[in-house]
A and B are shown apart, each in its own frame.
Chain A
């Protein structure tokens, strides 16, 4: 029987339909998909989460460093800080670099030029300006943590004290208890600047400029005759012996 084109087309169409019906629903066991296929959003969320945690951690560390930088120690808890020291920014941050070197150099010299001014400021801030300089002088040196943080004191040479001054210092420590001192004098005076205008005016001008213009005075000559004691730079905090 001769096959016509119409028959052939019909047979092809039937064949196509049979193939389509057999294979359109055919399935082959597929390989397991990789997990990366299903987690584009989770990956992005994880990335943002990690970035957020890193930012929070960075802020925490920054805050911790800021707190540590602003409060290297807590001397005010132990002893009342004189107004002249607590008001100075260098008393908070402490000396560094050239200022520290200058302070070390000046501490090796028997330079006492800055002491009267500091004593006056200390008297004004801590004791209301009624105490004589002879009693305030060892009390300032007996404030180890405050001295460490103070550029003014280190620059003025107050770290090099005499043995005699140390003896009086101990005597002053025994009397200048931080708590009792706060009770004796007005607490606001110990924290806030002294109401004495002379002390306020003398404080900012004298303290930073003292290391640059050392001069031999009578105090210096007196101290030069005495053996000097150089205090270590890292004194233990905590005050009182």
Chain B
């Protein structure tokens, strides 16, 4: 549990969001995250985020699928119980291509989705703090972490100059926890400033 204080700014236009992100980063404030209703191209670059390596993981999972299929089938047909099917060769790689391909796709897809959930910290039963109810609807919400030394009023005033439509200060859990979305956590009942 790491409960922190955040200054939150909500923007309603991407054209305002990008310069705001630039300005906030130049001024040295630490952006906790930006929450958007859909994928905004260029935002990850603007925030200085690294490219994801998810596709590399997918490739490795796919290779596992290929080797599992070929290894398992060839062991069965050449070593464990070779059967004479109309004189056909025991090691019949062309015949195994369909299953090998399917298992490659299966392992890659399932592995990637599980890795995706793990990296994004999402799972059935996971709950996180939602900074603004419209962050999945039509607003782009930026949360800036405040420490003991920062002045709330200064940050809020600064955020207003970047073109934020709404601003607030919130005390919230920074990570995730197991919970029901229809119940409130004790700290959620604290009034926001």
Whether both chains belong to one complex is answered with: no
